[in-house]
Amino acid sequence: MHISFRQLKLFLALADSGSVSAAAKAMHVTQPTASMQLKEISLAVGLPLYEVISKRIYLTDTGKQLASTARDMLASWELFSQSVDATRGLTRGKLKVAVVSTAKYFMPRLIGGFCKKYPDIDVSLEILNRDGVVQRMRDNLDDIYIMSQPPVDMDLADEVFMQNPLVMIASSKDPLSRQKAISLRDLAEKRFILREKGSGTRMSADHYFQKQKFRPDIRMELGSNEAIKEAVAGGLGIGVVSKHALHGHTKEHGVAVIDIQGFPVMSHWHIVHPVKKQLTPIAQAFKAHLLSHQIQT
């Protein structure tokens, strides 16, 4: 079987983008050239690697195996290239980081500081919900993953690097915003607006409520902190968000942190990656950067 390294990169671009034209653009070739190369790859393997349904490309089982193999090969090559550069005193290459959506409030600053130190490094940052980040980790798509609730069914290297306080918020016009030492029992008649099930914030909040034997009356489940803040500001209920979502403030955009006994609930941010994953020198340097540049909440 004769498939070139560049052809593997092209096929991986196809697998990631689901489009021949997008793969061609990523590899800086024309679409006819990409189509011809992909046909040559299929002929070399001797089995269909993908099919087109409604103008969207879907990999066959063989295609998925080839994509996984190509990804492992390219990761090994990147590791070797960075190791050679490090030996020669050079620091350049690529870093791929995937973070849960709440981490978007602080990760760009941490990445910015890292890039100032290593200006020749290209950084790819994926911001997704927790399920999306976990899936990327299962597919081994990135170097480092940042989340507050790592999956328990994976063998992970896991280091805590920062606190993630969860606070309760209400409309700044709500009388609750001016009261002190409010108990959870005082909120029994209140409606709650929480993150979607499966998010790290929701998992931490649910765990705390269960521990306190408190059952919130949930009006809405929303997929972003911004949506929760807007709904709370509109008087639709009270919410639970990471303090990072308020940029470290106690008041923001029509909402205010309310003084609830037991809050803030303390969660933590984790740096995780599969145990068996060999981190590149750049990924190791980035991990060290995160551990030494914690942001105060």
DSSP string, 178-244: G--SB-GGGGTTSEEEEEPTTSHHHHHHHHHHHHTT---EEEEEESSHHHHHHHHHTTS-EEEEEGG
Query: Tell me, what's the pLDDT at 196?
Result: 95
> Rounded CA gap, 239 and 253, in Å?
14
297 pLDDT more than 60: no
Residues of the chain within CATH 3.40.190.10 domain(s) are: 87-161+269-292, 164-267
Query: Tell me, what's the pLDDT at 78?
Result: 82
Can you give the pTM of this predicted structure? 0.74
How many residues belong to the chain? 297
Residue range 66-89: mean pLDDT, rounded = 81
Residue range 13-38: mean pLDDT, rounded = 90
Average pLDDT over all residues of the chain: 91
Residue range 186-201: mean pLDDT, rounded = 95
Residues of the chain within CATH 1.10.10.10 domain(s) are: 5-67
Residue range 138-155: mean pLDDT, rounded = 94
296 pLDDT more than 60: no
CB 93 within 8 A of CB 163: no
**pLDDT interval class at 294 (50, 70, 90):** low
Query: Tell me, what's the pLDDT at 84?
Result: 77
Place of tokens 């290209």: 122
**CB within 8 A of 128, min separation 6: which ones?**
98, 99, 100, 101, 136
**Of 78-87, 209-218, 234-243, minimum mean pLDDT range:** 78-87
Residue range 253-259: mean pLDDT, rounded = 93
pLDDT digits (tens, 9 = 90+) for 260-279: 999 999 999 999 999 999 88
Report how far apart, in Å, the C-alpha atoms of 208 and of each of 90, 137, 200, 203 are: 48, 27, 12, 9
Query: Tell me, what's the pLDDT at 90?
Result: 56
Query: Tell me, what's the pLDDT at 52?
Result: 86
Query: Tell me, what's the pLDDT at 88?
Result: 63
218 pLDDT more than 80: yes
Structure tokens at 83: 């190791």
- Architecture per CATH, domain 164-267, reads as 3-Layer(aba) Sandwich (3.40)
CA 216 to chain centre: 28
CB 140 within 8 A of CB 274: yes
Q: CATH for 87-161+269-292?
A: 3.40.190.10
> Rounded CA gap, 268 and 200, in Å?
10
CATH topology for 5-67? Arc Repressor Mutant, subunit A (1.10.10)
Backbone angles phi, psi at 247, to 5 degrees: 55, 35
> Rounded CA gap, 113 and 107, in Å?
10
